């Protein structure tokens, strides 16, 4: 992979040098790419090296991307730790997009996929076009790339053309994943409802060469009529949405379920949820689907973790992984798993203390899945600002990233809908 002619003065064999470089953090590699053209090509353009570096990165303790919401948009906080002797840093991503908002956030292979809606797509008029801008951001390399805008509309087959437009209800969801042949894909899922007509619409965007293209695919194997997406995640080539599915007439398929999309075959399927667990959330442990929840009719201070297992016949079964006692934190809420530790978020009443007392720092609680050891994660915050605007062609264009002054209201996490995604450093940027 390395140009040998440029390495004549290096005493290390080429393969050994690659092994050494692959173990370095991204921050160091960003400096080394300026050493010579060969280093630059290796770090910026060699997919094998990127994959090798990422696999090594996954063996190290992961960072956390905490996604939450405020009144206007999604909020992203990246937790990281430079040293054991320092508090955990928290980098807040702030994207001022005029009157726009981050509608969806996906995290995969060290990249954040930001789905930006130019207008609120929840309710729109029949026949009106929805436009989504898609931005890929690698927080480790500080590189950003904008993809072609996605345009979607829905026409009612029996609505008179001369009648005034009516509003339709739209539920949408996105997925971000990688095929076995190393082709990146983004899938968009829309469920329209107007005048007792339900329609599901699916678009897939994929990279072909140096360009991206969008195409509509068949969605007939999505059997339910109404879909409401609650949460989502990616595991081993499939993207999963936890959905509430309903049909006009009672059906065995009604209720909460996992709807999945295979990035290779581009087909949909469903999985049942654990029936004996009450409210909870999905996450992953070692690339295995995990469900966190409190058992029905039992101690509400316990958190049970269930893992899904696929047998040789492609049948899926749930089995209990562990039960954690959270009675010391009755008000804290589980938001995910990081480095084999359950992460708990403090309630709003405690979060308000961080806003009005400058001596108090936002904190999270972590509980070891094996030993039950409890730790407090003290957080210091750094806010990042990324300026984005539209160019003359109407496409999103990124200008720069920089530090900005932290106002007091950013001293705490936004708690609504918050959950953790595991993040590992990478060199990837689609």
- Kindly report, residue by residue over 296-326, the tens digit of the pLDDT: 666 667 888 999 987 777 778 888 899 888 8
The region of weakest confidence among 52-56, 236-240, 243-247, 360-364 is 360-364
Rounded mean pLDDT of the chain? 76
Distance CA 335, CA 67 (A): 10
Distance CA 44, CA 388 (A): 24
SS3 state at 357: coil
**Count of beta carbons in the 10 Å neighbourhood of residue 397:** 13
Q: What percent of the chain has pLDDT over 90?
A: 19
The region of weakest confidence among 42-56, 167-181, 301-315, 397-411 is 397-411
pLDDT score of 261 more than 60: yes
Highest mean pLDDT: which range of 155-159, 195-199, 375-379, 398-402: 195-199
The single residue listed with the structure tokens 């409190």 is: 294
| Average pLDDT estimate for 251-280 | 82
The closest of 336, 333, 287, 285 to 67, measured between CA atoms, is 336
Determine the pLDDT at residue 88. 57
**Count of beta carbons in the 10 Å neighbourhood of residue 251:** 13
Q: Which residues pair with 88 in a beta bridge?
A: 379
Alpha-helical (H) ranges within 313-360 are: 348-356
SS3 state at 62: coil
On whether the CB atoms of residues 32 and 141 are closer than 8 A, the answer is no
What 8-state DSSP symbol labels residue 47? H
**Which DSSP string do the residues of 186-198 spell out, in sequence order?**
EEEEEEEEETTEE
pLDDT score of 410 more than 80: no
Determine the pLDDT at residue 401. 44
On whether the CB atoms of residues 367 and 326 are closer than 8 A, the answer is yes
pLDDT score of 405 more than 60: no
| Average pLDDT estimate for 399-426 | 57
pLDDT score of 381 more than 60: no
pLDDT score of 71 more than 70: no
What 8-state DSSP symbol labels residue 6? G
What does pTM read for this prediction? 0.83
Work out the pLDDT band at 367, boundaries 50, 70, 90: confident
The region of weakest confidence among 76-80, 175-179, 386-390, 402-406 is 402-406
Distance CA 53, CA 371 (A): 31
Determine the pLDDT at residue 354. 46
| Residues with Cβ within 8 Å of residue 188, at least 6 apart in sequence | 132, 150, 152, 172, 173, 174, 202, 203, 204, 205
SS3 state at 21: helix
The closest of 398, 387, 429 to 94, measured between CA atoms, is 387
Work out the pLDDT band at 191, boundaries 50, 70, 90: confident
Q: Which residue has the higher pLDDT, 246 or 172?
A: 172
On whether the CB atoms of residues 222 and 296 are closer than 8 A, the answer is no
On whether the CB atoms of residues 53 and 42 are closer than 8 A, the answer is no
Cα-flanking dihedrals φ and ψ of residue 393, to 5°? -90, 0
The region of weakest confidence among 27-31, 328-332, 334-338, 381-385 is 381-385
Determine the pLDDT at residue 126. 74
Determine the pLDDT at residue 366. 83
| Average pLDDT estimate for 272-282 | 75
pLDDT score of 403 more than 50: no
| Average pLDDT estimate for 411-430 | 73
| Residues with Cβ within 8 Å of residue 350, at least 6 apart in sequence | 331
Determine the pLDDT at residue 391. 44
- For the chain, domains (ranges, CATH) are 11-60 (no CATH), 61-423 (2.120.10)
| Average pLDDT estimate for 376-403 | 49
Work out the pLDDT band at 194, boundaries 50, 70, 90: confident
Determine the pLDDT at residue 289. 93
| Average pLDDT estimate for 24-31 | 92
For residue range 143-187, list pLDDT tens digits in order.
888 888 899 887 766 666 666 667 777 889 999 999 988 889 999
pLDDT score of 411 more than 50: no
| Token pair in block for residue 281 | 């959330």
């Amino acid at each position: 992979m390395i140009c040998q002619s440029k390495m004549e003065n290096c005493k290390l064999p080429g393969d050994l040098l690659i092994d050494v470089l692959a173990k370095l953090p991204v921050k160091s590699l960003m400096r080394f790419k300026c050493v010579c053209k060969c280093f630059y090509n290796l770090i910026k353009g060699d997919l094998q090296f990127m994959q090798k570096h990422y696999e090594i990165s996954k063996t190290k303790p992961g960072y956390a991307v905490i996604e939450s919401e405020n009144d206007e948009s999604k909020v992203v906080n990246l937790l990281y730790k430079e040293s054991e002797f320092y508090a955990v840093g928290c980098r807040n991503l702030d994207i001022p997009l005029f009157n726009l908002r981050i509608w969806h956030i996906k995290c995969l292979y060290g990249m954040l996929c930001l789905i930006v809606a130019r207008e609120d797509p929840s309710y729109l008029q029949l026949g009106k076009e929805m436009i989504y801008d898609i931005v890929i951001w690698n927080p480790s390399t500080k590189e950003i790339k904008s993809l072609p805008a996605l345009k979607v509309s829905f026409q009612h087959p029996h609505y008179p053309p001369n009648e005034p437009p009516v509003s339709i209800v739209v539920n949408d969801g996105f997925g971000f994943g990688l095929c076995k042949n190393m082709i990146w894909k983004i899938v968009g899922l829309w469920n329209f409802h107007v005048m007792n007509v339900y329609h599901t619409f699916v678009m897939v965007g994929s990279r072909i060469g140096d360009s991206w293209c969008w195409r509509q695919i068949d969605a007939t194997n999505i059997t339910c009529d109404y879909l409401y997406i609650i949460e989502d995640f990616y595991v081993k080539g499939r993207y999963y949405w936890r959905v509430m599915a309903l049909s006009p007439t009672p059906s065995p398929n009604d209720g909460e379920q996992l709807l999945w999309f295979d990035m290779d075959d581009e087909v949909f399927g469903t999985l049942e949820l654990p029936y004996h667990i009450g409210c909870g959330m999905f996450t992953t442990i070692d690339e295995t689907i995990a469900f966190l929840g409190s058992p029905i009719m039992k101690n509400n201070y316990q958190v049970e973790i269930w893992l899904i297992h696929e047998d040789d016949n492609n049948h899926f079964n749930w089995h209990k992984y562990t039960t954690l006692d959270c009675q010391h934190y009755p008000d804290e809420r589980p938001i995910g798993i990081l480095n084999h530790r359950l992460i708990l978020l403090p309630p709003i009443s405690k979060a308000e203390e961080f806003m009005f007392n400058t001596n108090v720092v936002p904190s999270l609680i972590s509980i070891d899945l094996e030993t039950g050891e409890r730790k407090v994660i003290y957080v210091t915050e750094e806010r990042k600002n990324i300026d984005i605007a539209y160019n003359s062609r109407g496409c999103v264009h990124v200008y720069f990233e920089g530090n900005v002054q932290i106002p007091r209201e950013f001293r705490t996490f936004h708690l609504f809908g918050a959950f953790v995604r595991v993040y590992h450093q990478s060199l990837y940027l689609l």
